[in-house]
Amino acid sequence: MMRSDEIKQGFNRAPHRSLLRATGVKDEDFDKPFIGVANSFIEIIPGHFFLNKVSEVIKEEIRANGCVPFEFNTIGVDDGIAMGHDGMLYSLPSREIIANSIETVMNAHKLDAMIAIPNCDKIVPGMIMGALRVDVPTVFVSGGPMAAGHMNDGTPIDLATVFEGVGEYEAGNITEETLTEMECNACPSGGSCSGMFTANSMNTLMEAMGIALPGNGTILALTPERTDLYKQAAKRICEIAKMEAAEREKYRTKNILNENAVRNAFAVDMAMGGSSNTVLHMLAIAQEAEVDFNLKDVNAISKRVSHIAKISPSLTTVHMEDINKAGGVNAVMHEMMKRGDDILLDNLSVTGETLYEKVKDAKILDTNIIHTIDNPYSEVGGLAILYGNLAEQGAVIKTAGITGDRVFTGTAVCFNSQDEAIEGILQGKVKAGNVVVIRYEGPKGGPGMQEMLSPTSLIMGMGLGDSVALITDGRFSGATRGASIGHVSPEAAEGGLIGLLEDGDEIHLDVDKYILRANLSDEIIVERKANFKPVVKPLKSKWLRQYRALVTNASHGAVLEAE
């Protein structure tokens, strides 16, 4: 019996079949599996504007393999375009809308299985969260990364180059002509931005989780190789959907994306120096998967994983296409296994293979791009969780992106919003030896937890990257680099110490000891708390007011409280 039989079998479902016939369903189709094709096509996002054509390839392959496709769409927000203004307030909340839309369409129509087509930003985790709620067999196949851009002299560039170029131009280090050259060349084609930013981090982690086919994170968009991957994914979801019930049960999303899959994702994230946003999203995914995982587990994994693949923004000359040519994510995982200690846990993939079977024959084809385990960039992973009186519930730093010292003590320069911070940085309020504090940008305080690529890029572009740190209860773009600490929890809006800081307070961080603290006495902290009233930003948006009322802080994945 198929799940879709509930809407298509029996005399009492004649009205349902009548409606289905109106969409083109034929007599011979009612005994076939119904496959949901969850597409995130939207014309304003470079990684998505071509996905309407991708879905046509996928639907044709589904039909050829004896199933019936039903395409539906989710929304999407382009973080780069929403960056630096109040449009970014909607980015993280869009993850919840996407998850809710997947759940709504799939469960309302009792579809048997799903193929999901995400690519960028919050769309990937939103679709994964929705798939976990529906819990039918699901194969993910992303649109794919874009190629790197190049300056006229051949230097590889990407979107992060342009953001940092704004800071360089503001500091007088480059001309307007150079900035325009960056602007026109950085994003040469469709696809998710070409570095190991949030989109490509999540797209590679789907391979580690076993919910996508090999190459999902690295094969370039708009290439014949990517089209082949779409067809393979469509064929595979049909193979699973047509299995006998007992066999098909193994491929339910929660059976694939289990605790082992979550831990594998974090391990690969560490090895490849992924975006700090992956921590936020994987915590949310773990909750949807009903997996017992929390922030403290991240450091335990990081200590056991060597960082062996360094990609833009951490190494600006290496992009996803280079990782693909060097052997892809399978090569990274194969090399990780040489360290032993069960860093990667054997687990079933939607391919039908276990993780070990899937990667056993993989090879590194270029050790300059993917390092061997004997020659890592670092003996520990590329992300860390810091704790201390400033982050009692944790804060996240992308250690792979640090350009200065891993131990830093400096004096606070405080801003109550990203806009204030940008203005202050441009006015020269931030000097070497400062710690920039940007608060009231957390899930509740923002609301929506804005990304801080604009201020971090200004700091880098103005030549302060090695001498300034930044902490925020907001988050960072995957393109961020430098000593940038985000997701500070508890956030300012809920009374966290970050909201009590004053200009001139001494702040200390030690990445290798996982410390983030304000050097303030207990007496001063108690005194400030007694007089503290958090800033509450006025909101016109009904949706953002709903979001602010329900959202948890970053240490809980910024998920909405269901009860």
What single DSSP character describes residue 485? E
Between CA 555 and CA 520, with CA 296 as vertex, the angle to 5 degrees is: 70
Asked if 211 and 204 count as a contact pair (C-beta separation under 8 A), the reply is no
| Two tokens, residue 48 | 């998505």
How far apart are the C-alpha atoms of 212 and 303, rounded to whole Å?
27
Nearest one of 323, 303, 308 to 373, comparing CA atoms: 308
- 209-242 burial, b at 16+ Cβ within 10 Å, e below that, comes to bbbbbbbbbbbbbbbeebbebbbbbbbbbbbbbb
Residues contacting 67, CB < 8 A, separation 6+: 32, 33, 34, 35, 237, 238, 241, 242
How far apart are the C-alpha atoms of 513 and 509, rounded to whole Å?
9
How far apart are the C-alpha atoms of 238 and 236, rounded to whole Å?
5
| Two tokens, residue 495 | 């009374």
Name beta bridge partners: 435: 412, 469
Burial class (CB in 10 A: 0-12, 13-18, 19+), 563: exposed
Asked if 199 and 252 count as a contact pair (C-beta separation under 8 A), the reply is no
Catalytic pick among 55, 142, 276, 477: 477
3-state SS track over 499-520: HHCCCCCEEEEECCCCEEEECC
91 is catalytic: no
| Two tokens, residue 107 | 């469960």
Between CA 50 and CA 54, with CA 51 as vertex, the angle to 5 degrees is: 105
How far apart are the C-alpha atoms of 174 and 191, rounded to whole Å?
28
How far apart are the C-alpha atoms of 432 and 411, rounded to whole Å?
10
Cα 296–chain centre separation = 19
Nearest one of 281, 266, 290 to 209, comparing CA atoms: 266
Active site residues: 477
